[in-house]
A and B are shown apart, each in its own frame.
Chain A
Amino acid sequence: MGEATLYGLCGAALVGLGLFGLIVHPQPLRKILAFNLIGGGVFLLFGAIARRGAAAGFGGDPVPQALVITGIVVAFSATALAVALLLRLFQETGQATLHLDG
Chain B
Amino acid sequence: MSLALDVLTIVAVSAGAFFFLAGTVGLLRFPDALSRLHALTKADNLGLGLVVLGLLFQPEGLFAGLKLITVWLLTLLAGATVTQLIARTARPGGAQE
Direct contact, A vs B (beta carbon within 8 Å): no
Binding site for A on B (CB under 8 A): none
Binding site for B on A (CB under 8 A): none
